[in-house]
Amino acid sequence: MFASLLSSRLVELVPVGLLDDAGLSAESLSCSPAQLRALPAEVLGPVTTALSESITAVFLLVVPLLVLGVVLRP
């Protein structure tokens, strides 16, 4: 569920066509740090921002669920 949210947010946030020139897809970016290091400088900035915002979205979902789990734990 969380990986799905991360991937969907990346698809939404990475500008259309930006990764096509590099031969990558938004879904594959969360798989390999080596792919990120290999990106050209003009692509790395927007991709880094998209990853940061995507990870933030996942944490905004996970943290309340964890708090709820701790509160409701018997």
pTM, full prediction: 0.72
Least-confidence region, from 4-13, 49-58, 63-72: 4-13
pLDDT of residue 1: 75
- For 40-54, write each residue's pLDDT tens digit: 888 888 888 988 898
Four-point Cα dihedral 44, 47, 53, 56, nearest 10: -80
pLDDT of residue 19: 75
Per-residue confidence band for 62, with pLDDT thresholds at 50, 70 and 90: very high
Tokens encoding 71: 């509160």
Rounded CA-CA distance 58/6 in Å is 6
Rounded CA-CA distance 29/74 in Å is 39
Per-residue confidence band for 69, with pLDDT thresholds at 50, 70 and 90: very high
**Tally of structural domains, the chain:** 1
Four-point Cα dihedral 51, 14, 47, 45, nearest 10: -130
Question: Which residue range(s) make up the domain with 44?
Answer: 2-72
